[in-house]
Amino acid sequence: MTSEVYVIDKSSGRRIVLEGKMTVGRAESCDIQLQGTGISRSHGLFELSEGQLIFTDLGSSNGSFVNGEKLTQTQALYEGEILSIGDCELEVHSGVERSEGSAAEDDATAFISMSGQQDDLPAMWSDSAGLESDSHTQFAAAPSESAATGAYRQGSLELPAIGSSPRLVSITAEQRGQEFPLDADGEEQVCWNIGRDSSCDIVVADASVSGQHAQLIRDGRRWKVVNWMSTNGTFVNGSKGLSTYLKHGDIIGLGKVELAFELPAGMEASNMQTPSRKRGLFARLLDRIRGR
C-alpha cells in the first residue's frame, strides 16, 4: 500500500492528495475545486478510512462514474480506476488493488435479504458492501403522516426556539426537541453525515436508522438531503428520494425517526430562490450566430 493516496486529473496532470473527508465540486467552498462541463457545485465526497478510499456522489445533476459505470451508491475506489465527474477524469492511486473478493462484495449489495419485509426498497438504497452487515438495522415500513408531523404542522409541538443557525430538530416522541445545529464547523462546512454511527456529524440513536444513513448538503443558499447507505431509505414529507431539496418546515424521515428542517427568520426566502443556471452550449452558440 502506498503511504499517500491521491488522484490525478488526466486533462491537466494535477496531482490531488486525499486526506480524511474532502468534498469535490465546482463551488469555491469545496476542498477540491474542479472546473468543467457537467460538474455540480457540491458534486461528491472522498473519504479515506483505514487506508480504503471511498467516494459518494452528493446528489449531483449528472452523476459520477467509475470505469464508465454510473454510481448508484457509495463505492470503494481501487488503484488505477477512473472516476469521472462531469468531463473531468480522475485516475485513482490508492495503493489498494481490486481483488475478486472485493468485486464480489460490491456486487453483493444488490442481493441483501429482506426476510419477507420487501417494502419495495431498491438495492441501491440498501447498506453497501458489508459496511452494515453486522449492525442489525431494524426494517421500517414506508411512513405515512404521523401524529407528530400533524402536530408540528399545526404548531402545537413544544420545541426549543430556533437560534441564529439552521437546524434539524427531532419531532419523534422518544427524541422530541433534540436539536442538531448546522453550524458545527462554520461557513466552510458543506456536508453533514447523518446516522447511528458515532463517527457521523449528526448521530441519531435509533435502531431503525442506519449507521451511515443520509447526508445533508449545503448547496450555495439551498439545502438538500441525500440518501447515503441506508436500509430503510430517506423520506421528505413522506416521499422517498435519493436527493431532495429542502425548504423550511420539511420533515425528513429516517427509519422511524422524523426530523424537522428549520431555517432562522430571514433565511427562509433566500433558501427558496432558484439559483441562476448557465445557458447551455447550444443556446450560447445560437446567441453568437444572432450577434447577441
Task: Out of 71-75, 77-81, 129-133, 164-168, pick the least confident.
Answer: 129-133
Let me know whether 13 and 86 are in one domain: yes
Q: Inform me whether the pLDDT recorded for 81 exceeds 90.
A: yes
Domain ends where: 93, 112, 132?
93
Instruction: Indicate whether 112 belongs to any domain.
Output: no
Instruction: Indicate whether 137 belongs to any domain.
Output: no
Instruction: Indicate whether 267 belongs to any domain.
Output: no
- Residues 6+ positions from 125 with CB-CB distance below 8 Å: 73, 227, 230, 231, 233, 234, 240, 242
Let me know whether 162 and 74 are in one domain: no
How many domains is the chain built from?
2
Let me know whether 162 and 240 are in one domain: yes
Domain range enclosing 13: 6-93
Q: Inform me whether the pLDDT recorded for 203 exceeds 70.
A: yes
Domain CATH for 25: 2.60.200.20
Residue 119 grid cell: 417494502
- Residues 6+ positions from 1 with CB-CB distance below 8 Å: 51, 95, 96
pLDDT at res. 121: 37
pTM: 0.54
pLDDT digits (tens, 9 = 90+) for 93-112: 999 988 755 543 443 322 32
Instruction: Indicate whether 246 belongs to any domain.
Output: yes
pLDDT at res. 237: 94
Let me know whether 248 and 164 are in one domain: yes
Instruction: Indicate whether 116 belongs to any domain.
Output: no
Q: Inform me whether the pLDDT recorded for 214 exceeds 60.
A: yes
Tell me the torsion sign for CA atoms 218, 219, 224, 225.
negative
Instruction: Indicate whether 140 belongs to any domain.
Output: no
Residue 215 grid cell: 447526508
Let me know whether 241 and 160 are in one domain: yes
Let me know whether 161 and 84 are in one domain: no
pLDDT digits (tens, 9 = 90+) for 223-279: 999 998 888 889 999 998 888 999 999 999 999 999 999 999 877 655 554 444 455
Q: Please give the residue that has the higher pLDDT: either 50 or 136.
A: 50
Q: Please give the residue that has the higher pLDDT: either 45 or 108.
A: 45
Let me know whether 168 and 247 are in one domain: yes
Give the residue among 257, 243, 260, 242 at the shortest CA–CA distance from 121.
242
Using CA atoms of 263, 268, 270, 271 in order, give the dihedral in degrees to the nearest 10: 60
pLDDT at res. 282: 58
Instruction: Indicate whether 164 belongs to any domain.
Output: yes
pLDDT digits (tens, 9 = 90+) for 48-70: 888 899 999 988 888 999 999 99
Instruction: Indicate whether 60 belongs to any domain.
Output: yes
Q: Any idea which residue has 463551488 for its cell?
A: 27
